[in-house]
Copies of this chain bind each other. A is one copy, B any other.
Amino acid sequence: MTTEPAFIAALRTLVTSPAARGLQDDAAVLEVGTEALVLTHDIMVEGVHFLPDQDMADVAWKLVAVNMSDLAAKGAEPLGVLLGYMLANDNERFLKGLEEALQAYNVPLLGGDTVSGGPPRSFGLTAIGRATHRPVPARYGAQAGDTLWITGPVGAAMLGFEALRDRTSADSAAFRRPLPLLAEGKALAPLVTAMMDISDGLLLDCWRLATASDVSLMLDPAAIPVADPARFDECVRWGDDYQLLFTLPDGVQPPCPAYRIGQVEAENFAPLWLGDEILTPTDSLGYTHR
């Protein structure tokens, strides 16, 4: 039991609260008093999620952004964050990026913990939000007949990562400074039947939405926006783009810019189709930790 899917499957047996949503969603949804709280925690590890020589201001920004993206997928407004920080010699740059991200999304720092450790260093962030619409969108809920949408192209983060790694002149901002779609998530929440953010690759996250909803997703490859059409197969498998993936009842138009990339059918031979090709997890649909 050394892989991420095996560990999460085992962890799932410990889950007793519906608030955990079976550990199959972007965030937990906890009813407290009159509010539905949305809770998420994401970690970034040196050498896994960021390059060891990366500007720590970008790392701090991304740590906030990826957690805000989980809130966006729930249509939630951020209430605050807790930071888990590992000390080093570049604390000033981290603080600079943290301040920029907190100000950009108007989210207060509430607390956390500071430790010594690494290399490799790792950083954790917990974000707390409040739902703006009930029911709170989930990965499950897509219905046969719905349409499938994405807010923007995938693959931009891959190109940004390569520019940074190879020190080329191409723009690396899409990898370094992703932009969580909080306003879009809030506008979409009352309309969608299912929603999630794409963090681990479009195909893998489509697979997750399909299996959580017990439906089949039929993707139209010609309709999927990618940052580099010559590298379509990679663009639809690379993560880190933080677009929103969602389903709408037939005829409902999204309230924000979005691309219609497929449709939802009743569960058939397979959860996920790309054109007339059946995709399975053994096709390496995206990123998992091994």
Contacts and interface: CB of A to CB of B under 8 A. Distances in A.
Contacts of A30: 79-80, 110, 128
Nearest to A85: B7
A109 interface: yes
Q: At the interface, is chain A mostly helix, strand, loop or mixed?
A: mixed
Contact of A40 (B3, B82, B116, B124): B82
A43 B99 contact: no
A277 interface: no
A35 interface: yes
A26 to B, nearest CB: 9
A35 to B, nearest CB: 4
A163 to B, nearest CB: 24
Contacts of A43: 84, 86, 113, 115, 117, 124
B110 A2 contact: no
Number of copies: 2
Interface residues of A, number: 70
Contacts of A4: 87, 114, 116
A17 B87 contact: no
B33 A114 contact: no
Given A17-B108, A34-B34, A39-B80, 15 more contacts: A2-B91, A4-B116, A7-B85, A7-B91, A11-B95, A14-B98, A15-B108, A20-B80, A20-B110, A21-B111, A42-B113, A43-B115, A48-B117, A113-B124, A115-B122
Interface of A: 1-4, 7-8, 10-11, 14-17, 19-21, 23, 25, 27-28, 30, 32-35, 37, 39-43, 45-49, 79-80, 82-89, 91-92, 95, 98-99, 102, 108-118, 120, 122, 124, 126, 128, 130, 289-290
